[in-house]
């Protein structure tokens, strides 16, 4: 059976808990509830705004940089973003932008200047080198012809002097020598041979006597022209005043084995130069000396 004290305790335990604002008026409680509802609405609005911003950022790339009204968004300057991230000032960024704008033009001007300088250098080098180049080419051509004629004259002289040595004291020895020379020098121009001298040499290295360069000398040398080989053989033989071999007659040459004479052949030729840069004419000479072939045994 419950006592009165127990009834009071149960009543006390089921009594509502006192609210802290029990002492506040009804108007104050209503004002607080309105403020709470307003704060909740603001929080919802902020969250909605953030969601819209994220949605706009997500939709940006899909729109290819275009806004809702169709305008094109400017490209993002990543260099400037880096400057912002690194804390660069606005003046520094503008200076860097100016530098990037000026540098390509400067490179173009430098390249143009370099190309202009190179062209000028090429012109100067060409002006200096081209004449030298052509002079070298002309020299090669000119002296190539000169060398060819010189070797031809020497070869023809060597062939002719062997005939002269073998002919010995034969009456037509000089005529045969002139014919041999003409055959060996067939590659030379017709006017390249001026003089052919047959002379009595004192030894294998004896040069042509100076007097013979002006004409035939009695007992010393016979001087011929390049066309004397065309003369008839009867014009030779030391007979008469018109015989071209009368000054150093072949029959006077010693063919003894012990005391055989030396005979020399000296040829004077010339080569007309083409360009004229190195003169007009080059004189070419060749000399060969051999002992007369002995005949008495």
Domain ranges of the chain: 140-291
Q: Low-confidence residues of the chain, pLDDT below 50?
A: 1-24, 26, 31, 34-42, 44, 48-49, 53, 55-76, 78-81, 83-85, 102
Query: How far, in Å, CA of 242 to CA of 237, rounded?
Result: 10
Under 8 Å between Cβ of 193 and 267: yes
Query: Which residues 6+ apart lie within 8 Å of 238 measured at CB?
Result: 171, 245, 246, 249, 250, 251
Q: What is the mean pLDDT of the chain?
A: 74
Query: How far, in Å, CA of 53 to CA of 255, rounded?
Result: 131
Hey, what are 251's tokens? 């029959």
Reported pTM: 0.58
What pLDDT score does 105 carry?
53
- Tens of pLDDT, residue by residue over 150-159, are 999 999 999 9
What pLDDT score does 56 carry?
45
**Burial tier of 166 (Cβ tally within 10 Å: 0-12, 13-18, 19+):** middle
- Tens of pLDDT, residue by residue over 205-232, are 999 999 999 999 999 999 999 899 999 9
Direct distance between the N- and C-terminal alpha carbons of the chain, in angstroms, rounded to an integer:
192
Under 8 Å between Cβ of 289 and 203: yes
What pLDDT score does 60 carry?
46
């Amino acid at each position: 059976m419950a006592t009165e004290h127990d009834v009071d305790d149960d009543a006390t335990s089921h009594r509502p808990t006192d609210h802290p604002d029990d002492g506040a008026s009804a108007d104050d409680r209503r004002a607080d509830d309105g403020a709470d509802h307003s704060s909740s609405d603001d929080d919802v609005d902020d969250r909605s705004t953030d969601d819209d911003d994220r949605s706009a950022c997500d939709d940006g790339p899909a729109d290819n940089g275009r806004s809702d009204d169709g305008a094109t968004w400017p490209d993002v300057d990543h260099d400037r973003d880096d400057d912002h991230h690194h804390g660069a000032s606005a003046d520094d960024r503008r200076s860097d932008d100016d530098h990037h704008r000026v540098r390509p033009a400067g490179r173009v001007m430098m390249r143009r200047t370099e190309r202009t300088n190179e062209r000028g250098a090429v012109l100067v080098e060409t002006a200096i080198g081209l004449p030298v180049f052509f002079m070298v080419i002309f020299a090669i051509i000119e002296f190539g012809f000169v060398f060819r004629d010189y070797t031809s004259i020497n070869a023809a002289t060597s062939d002719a002097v062997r005939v002269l040595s073998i002919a010995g004291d034969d009456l037509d020895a000089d005529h045969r020598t002139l014919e041999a020379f003409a055959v060996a020098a067939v590659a030379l121009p017709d006017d390249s041979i001026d003089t052919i001298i047959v002379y009595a040499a004192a030894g294998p290295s004896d040069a042509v006597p100076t007097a013979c360069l002006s004409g035939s000398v009695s007992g010393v040398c016979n001087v011929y022209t390049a066309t004397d080989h065309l003369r008839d053989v009867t014009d030779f033989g030391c007979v008469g005043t018109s015989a071209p071999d009368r000054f150093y007659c072949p029959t006077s040459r010693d063919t003894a084995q012990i005391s055989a004479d030396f005979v020399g052949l000296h040829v004077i030729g010339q080569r007309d130069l083409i360009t004229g840069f190195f003169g007009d004419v080059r004189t070419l000479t060749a000399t060969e000396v051999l002992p007369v072939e002995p005949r008495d045994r």
